[in-house]
Chains A and B, each alone.
Chain A
């Protein structure tokens, strides 16, 4: 990497520094409690993984450029400038050892949103070219092909074809005026087709109109994970254009954590205007159906099961009660993990970690946190609501030779829907 790219990186980090960031740095007392909230520190014991240390280059830029004292130190040659070497050294801390899970932000005694700052510092690292190959590839595919896993429209159409053939249900493409526009994550298209089937079943029972946009079926936003706002905005814009063209009322973010954060919270800020439609996570929509009596289920899962909260849903999204209410409709032996809801532990693969092969080793180490939670509970089934969590959990369980099925909540609910045809017949 050449020096100019480092300059660009510093410039991008500088642009991320606002009053909240400055208040966080000037409030930090180096107490180190954020480390106790971090699964990457907890499972490795390496103090470099202390969350606040991951944004140290940003702190130095802030101090040297935005404080009088720091500027005096810089002038006197007493300040350590951020260099190429720092970018090299911090890249794995910023990307491989952080899933942007947000747990550190919740425990900081002075209230610093540390994970928010790690999201911000990634802007500088990606601009300088210090980002993992895996994430660069995913982001390039997202821009060029429309999906980080390279999924194209024909793959979605093929899935819809299978759906029609197997169940007789339809997943309407580009239907104008539909109430809901459903987004999918690549992972669901490739690995978990049961999600689409579940949505089709539930929408039919609820009597709701819905559609998938051929121009914007993908919910995953690699731009957010790698930290390139331009790309993130472009990916959001595709969804906004499709939703507005089709005139839908609500866009449904799929069982994916960061996709929800990307479209629900970052989306309007990325494109610089509020949306003309609502954005909801599938669990929010399902819980509304439940409240309105549109979700009629039958029978209970008797297996002992627990729910893995996707970080982005609980800590960044506030979707906490909905999965519990929904689970209690269909499960008679639902138990909670020791740290759950807003204090859940990450699956270890969020924030782009799972797309970054280089991080595999540390990811599996960090997974031991989830493993210890599961060992304690001894459940028969693990339910979650994020395709990325699901694949990460499945890989982790396999790595540690644990035999535990992982199920999506939407799919579990769909399995218990009352079959109205049967009832009438």
Chain B
């Protein structure tokens, strides 16, 4: 198969299949969680569970100062990765064009220079995350093969995107095809790894926050 044909497949049916698996997989995972249900809290409440849940979804984004003081590098690196990844994904011009064709929505792009720098930063933060995972005794202890798979499938799209844009290593068409394939790999793998947290974090925060809101305690 020529690079052009591969790119065409990756842009067309390959992408649609991957997206389909991603959407259905994530819906299945959410269904698996929600269908378990939970019992109502019969204890007399002091406040609103809904408010508590919504509040915690937002507030848990910031770390507790005393924990931040213990692990500043790990926490800052987490922010750098997430912010970098999201900006590159949603504010790179060609990505926005793709969203426009798929969703019909469009928004202003960041300059390619900024995106380029952000991609480098994101890759570096992923490398640091791996280094921390391999050296921090707790993180190393907790790590499973799934964590390394999730790391790899997250790294590949950023890396290949950067290489394609800068015409490095391989001819542009080939690298772009690899970039799309790596995105498809990420989409297909995500529902079956801890990458489900991209959605389930909101549920987890909601449930803890809901109980806290009902009971009038901090969360």
Interface string of B34-62 (1 = CB under 8 A from A): 11111101111010000000001100110
What does DSSP make chain B's interface, helix, strand, loop or mixed? helix
Q: Which residue of B lies closest to A17 (CB)?
A: B36
> Given that A26-B29, A27-B203, A315-B217 are contacting pairs, would A278 and B44 also be in contact in the complex, using a CB cutoff of 8 Å?
yes
CB pair B32 A66 closer than 8 Å: yes
Chain A, interface size category, equals: 35 or more
CB pair B217 A110 closer than 8 Å: no
Taking CB atoms, residues of chain B closer than 8 Å to A28 are: 194, 197
CB pair B142 A265 closer than 8 Å: no
Q: B93: CB under 8 A from chain A?
A: no
CB pair B218 A19 closer than 8 Å: no
Interface string of B201-213 (1 = CB under 8 A from A): 1011111110100
State the total of A-B contacts with C-beta under 8 angstroms.
Answer: 174
Rounded to whole angstroms, the CA-CA distance of A52 and B217 in the bound complex is 22
Taking CB atoms, residues of chain B closer than 8 Å to A415 are: none
CB pair A35 B34 closer than 8 Å: no
Tell me the minimal C-beta distance from B202 to chain A in angstroms. Answer: 8
Taking CB atoms, residues of chain A closer than 8 Å to B201 are: 27, 109-111
Q: A269: CB under 8 A from chain B?
A: yes
Taking CB atoms, residues of chain A closer than 8 Å to B143 are: 30
Taking CB atoms, residues of chain B closer than 8 Å to A31 are: 74, 78, 139
> Given that A53-B141, A107-B63, A316-B217 are contacting pairs, would A19 and B43 also be in contact in the complex, using a CB cutoff of 8 Å?
no
Taking CB atoms, residues of chain B closer than 8 Å to A343 are: 64, 66
Tell me the minimal C-beta distance from B13 to chain A in angstroms. Answer: 24
> Given that A27-B201, A32-B142, A33-B74 are contacting pairs, would A113 and B211 also be in contact in the complex, using a CB cutoff of 8 Å?
yes
Task: Give the A-binding residues of B (Cβ under 8 A).
Answer: 28-29, 32-39, 41-44, 46, 56-57, 60-61, 63-64, 66-67, 70-71, 74-75, 78, 136-144, 147, 192, 194, 196-197, 200-201, 203-209, 211, 215-219
Task: Give the B-binding residues of A (Cβ under 8 A).
Answer: 17-24, 26-33, 35-37, 41, 45, 47-48, 50, 52-53, 66-69, 105-113, 116, 264-269, 272-275, 278-279, 315-318, 320, 338-339, 342-343
